[in-house]
Structure formats: structure tokens, C-alpha cells
Amino acid sequence: MKELVFIGLGLHNEKDISVNGIEEIKTADTVYAELFTSPMPNLSLVNIEKTIKRKIFVLSRKDLEDESGKTLLESAKRGKTVLLVPGDPLIATTHVALRIEAETLGVKTRVVHGASIISAVIGLSGLHNYKFGKSVTIPFNEEYGGISETPYDVVAQNKSVGLHTLCLLDIKAEEKRYMTIREGLKVLLEVEEERKQHIITSETLTVGIAKAGSKKPRVKAEFLKELLKYDFGGPPHSIIFPGKLHFMEAEALVVLAGAPEKVRETAR
């Protein structure tokens, strides 16, 4: 059967794929993977290859973006082709573009979902999902060509209506460079220094989350100046700026994320 199946690998290691995902790979004619849209710290494709008893071909950003997935799509025109991707497929726009391209060429597409960094990080924070506003990615300065003020504006906009903000942090997986929580906070503090709107200051309650999906994720809520000193270990790192806290959210931050006890007093 000629089709392209996007399969989510989940968050941390090669066992975060679903049982359905493994079964789909076993019946594929050709298996590709891309590992540049998100970090998967403990992934071993070799272990998946052993389970499925076939070779996995890794495609680069160049293959999938600059060359519009030519190799992948040619394969899907010949037989069942799967693309393994970190997290949940289609959250990365690269995958959506490939899917549009495939369907336009008459190739049927399907998705096997995996755990997503967005849902995982929101869940680990203990904050209520429906109180998150727009999310944003903090880019590396050299990627943006200066300091992007967009993340600061998004946090400000969400806070003005009491909403939380999830900040994902830039990655350049092919160079093994992952922005840390400390680096992300410093970018935001530079914008604060310039704008002086008191949106993100050393006294701002901030949640840092690292290694979501591993057996020992690090989740720490603290005032920003203290959080800058905290050792979060390896990637991926994310930051949440809470808006107005419900009392149960404050309790979650204190009990599950080690926030200072006085955070309880700010809730309602």
C-alpha cells in the first residue's frame, strides 16, 4: 500500500513510541526518521532497528525542508513509508508541510500520535491547561539576528489577562545545541532591561521544567533570581510564566515543584 505514516516517538527514549507505532513500523516497506525538530536525549534508533529487524534511514533538515522531502515522498509513491519523528507529529510545521506535499501528490497520509512536549510540560507543572494563553519559542539571538522581543510581548499579553505562558526554547539538534532555562531567562531579562515594563523581573515567579518524559524530570518553581542558580541538568528545557493562580495551582507549585510557601498567598 502506498502511503506515508507519521509516527510520534514521544519524549525521551526509544520506548516512548506506542505499541501501535511499533506495529506500523513492522509492516512498512521503508522506514525513515528525523531527529532535528526536538531533542530526544536517550533515543537509540539501533534498539528500534533490533526490534523491527530492519534499517532506519535518518533524514536531515536539508532533506526534509530544503529539498521538500523528495526522498521520503518518492519512497511513499512506491510503498508504505513511515517517518519517525520526536514528540507528537504535526506540531512541527515541517511535518505539516510534508503532509500537504504528499496529499497534493496523491499519496495518502496517516498519523500515529506520540506524547508531546507541550502537553507533558503543562501536566508536569501542575497548572491548569485551560489557563494557558498563546505559547512561544525563545530563539537563539544569532538565529533571529538580534534579540527577539516577541516572547516578552507574549508573556506580557497573557499576563494582562491572567493567563500562563509556556515558553519553548530553541534547539539546533544537528549541532547538539539546546537553549537552557538560564539562557532563555537572560534573553527575557535583556528585553526587560530595555523596556522596563516590569513583566519579567528578578522577583517574577517562574517554573523551569527539564527532561520531561524521563524517569526524573526536574520541575522547579521559584522567583526568577533564584531559578537562575538552579541546576536543571540535560535537555529539553522549558519555562512557564504563571499568570493568576487558582489555589489548587499554587498548591501544585508548592508540593510538586518546590515553590516557596508564600506562593500560596498569591492564589485565590
Cβ closer to its own copies: 210 or 252? 252
Report the run of H or E that residue 136 belongs to, with start and end: strand 136-138
Q: Which of 19, 146, 175, 176 binds its own copies (CB under 8 A)?
A: 19
116 binds its own copies (CB under 8 A): yes
Pair 215, 222: CB distance under 8 Å: no
Map residues 49-78 to x or -, x wherever contact with its own copies holds by CB under 8 A.
------------------------------
Give strand pairing partners of 31.
82
Stretches 63-71, 169-177, 202-210, 213-221: which one binds its own copies (CB under 8 A)? 213-221
> Which residue shows C-alpha cell 499579553?
157
Report the run of H or E that residue 119 belongs to, with start and end: helix 117-125
Cβ closer to its own copies: 203 or 255? 255
Distances (CA, A) of 201 to 118, 183, 205: 25, 15, 9
Q: What is the DSSP string of 160-184?
A: HTT-BEEEEE-EEGGGTEE--HHHH
Cβ closer to its own copies: 129 or 197? 129
Interface with its own copies (CB under 8 A): 8, 10-11, 13-20, 22-23, 88-91, 93, 95-97, 99-100, 103-104, 110-111, 113-116, 118-120, 122-124, 126, 128-137, 157, 161, 163, 212-213, 215, 217, 248, 251-252, 255-256
